[in-house]
């Protein structure tokens, strides 16, 4: 694994996130194009989240511990990443970060092709850039292909950005974004009392693969897409909300989704457990919004992830 992948994986998976508890729309810039939030602390403490967190321990945290010598299980609480049109990507990380972890991350960065120690109003931050930064071939958003700016200066937090300007802005505000009201065009954020994972994207940021299939037809008629995974009475509840370009299109997309579910349910190759999940899936339309909801057994979700 090359430096770029190593370092970003460490930032995204090894360390605690933006703020404990659920993410809300006011915690994102108004021009956000995508966001991702995972609350590891909630996973550890909830009935539905524990099996999912155990899977992360086996499949993600153990690999990082073996490769980098950092025990993420003891330090990771949550994470938020997002990208805004005018300022690029941000990973803001919060939790009980050990000095050993900080030292190892800094040593990893110092071994990059480019590395620099910088200052902003007396606060130290760093810049690192490795070789072969791969551009995401599915989502056209700013990322870390031009290097990463990061700092340990904020209390119980690691902050990383894709631009120096955004880093300095975040340092000035102590890592917080100004509250704002939501309005039309603002990226939606789904919330729940025990949210585990939240994600969303402006649909025009997803490339159309041009195959003319159902995926392309859905995306080209969608303005926004949001997904939330939460603990609901011990089940893993998954909610997906899609904002279509117009109400008629939402109804059409609902028909497509229902048809896909029906085709999958009656497939001879479909596992009985998966068919049972699909039978419990609800699809409804409210104006231009298409909502898809399903509640799953946590252990079955883990089995599906392992497959």
Task: Sketch the domain layout of the chain as residue ranges.
Answer: 3-172, 195-306
From the list 219, 226, 258, the residue with the least C-alpha distance to 242 is 226
Q: Is 200 exposed, middle or buried (0-12, 13-18, 19+ CB in 10 A)?
A: buried
Conformation bin of residue 45: beta by default, left when phi > 0, alpha when psi is -120 to 50: alpha
List of the chain residues with pLDDT < 50: 1-21, 132-142, 180-181, 214
Q: In this predicted structure, what is the pLDDT of residue 48?
A: 92
- pLDDT tens column, 243-258: 998 999 999 889 988 8
Specify the residue for token string 């596992």: 271
CA dihedral sign, ordered 224, 230, 233, 238: positive
Collapsed DSSP state (helix, strand, coil) of residue 306: helix
Helix (H) or strand (E) holding 298: helix 298-306
Determine how many CB atoms are found less than 10 A away from the CB of residue 226: 18
DSSP structural state of residue 122 = T
Q: In this predicted structure, what is the pLDDT of residue 292?
A: 92
Q: In this predicted structure, what is the pLDDT of residue 267?
A: 67
């Amino acid at each position: 694994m090359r430096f770029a992948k190593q370092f970003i994986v460490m930032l995204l998976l090894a360390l605690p996130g933006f703020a404990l508890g659920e993410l809300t729309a006011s915690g994102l810039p108004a021009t956000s194009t995508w966001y991702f939030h995972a609350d590891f602390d909630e996973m550890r403490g909830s009935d539905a989240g524990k099996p999912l967190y155990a899977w992360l321990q086996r499949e993600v945290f153990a690999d990082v511990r073996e490769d980098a010598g950092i025990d993420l299980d003891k330090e990771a609480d949550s994470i938020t990443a997002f990208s805004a049109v005018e300022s690029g990507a941000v990973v803001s990380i919060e939790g009980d970060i050990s000095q050993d972890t900080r030292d190892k991350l800094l040593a990893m960065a110092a071994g990059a092709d480019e590395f620099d120690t910088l200052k902003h109003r007396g606060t130290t931050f760093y810049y690192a850039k490795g070789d072969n930064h791969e551009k995401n071939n599915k989502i056209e958003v700013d990322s870390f292909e031009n290097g990463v700016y990061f700092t340990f200066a904020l209390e119980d937090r690691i902050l990383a950005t894709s631009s120096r300007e955004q880093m300095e802005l975040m340092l000035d505000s102590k890592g917080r974004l100004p509250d704002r009201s939501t309005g039309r065009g603002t990226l939606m954020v789904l919330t729940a009392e025990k949210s585990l994972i939240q994600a969303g994207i402006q649909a025009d940021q997803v490339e159309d693969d041009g195959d003319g299939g159902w995926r392309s037809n859905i995306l080209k008629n969608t303005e926004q897409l949001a997904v939330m995974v939460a603990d609901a009475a011990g089940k893993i509840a998954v909610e997906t909300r899609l904002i279509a370009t117009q109400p008629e299109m939402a109804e059409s997309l609902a028909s497509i989704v229902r048809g896909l579910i029906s085709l999958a349910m009656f497939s001879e190759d479909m596992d009985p457990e998966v068919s049972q999940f699909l039978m419990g899936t609800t699809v409804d339309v409210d104006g231009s919004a298409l909502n898809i909801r399903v509640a799953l057994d946590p252990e079955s979700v883990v089995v599906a992830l392992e497959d």
